Structure 1
Amino acid sequence: MAAGIAIMAGSLLNLPVANTVTAAVAGAAMTFSAFLMRSYGKEKEENSLDRQVSQQI
């Protein structure tokens, strides 16, 4: 999504292709890392909830 927005903005603003590609790659990398960290955090949270439940039993 972020890469598409960067490409569209670059084409509308007539930016050089190298700058547009760099912005698209940076946007894609940030989006991917955010999803990766979110899934890692969710997994860690689920594990801690499982431990709390097992300790209460």
Structure 2
Amino acid sequence: MGLMCGIFGHIGKADSIKKCLSGLKFLEYRGYDSAGIAGILEGEMLYFKKKGKLS
């Protein structure tokens, strides 16, 4: 059994959500079956992760 990992990151305020979703979609073409995104809002870290393709 092999393990694979792809990571995309963005630091900045301009178009952050758009850039992160674009990066995740790029990684999805590599065959990934799950994705997640994390960010900081008002000093609190928020994250979302889910199995399956992006929609």
Larger radius of gyration: 1
Which structure has more strand as a fraction of its residues? 2
Which structure has more helix as a fraction of its residues? 1
TM band (smaller chain): 0.3 to 0.5
The structure with higher relative contact order (CA 8 Å, sep 6+) is 1
TM-score by length of 2: 0.39
TM-score by length of 1: 0.38
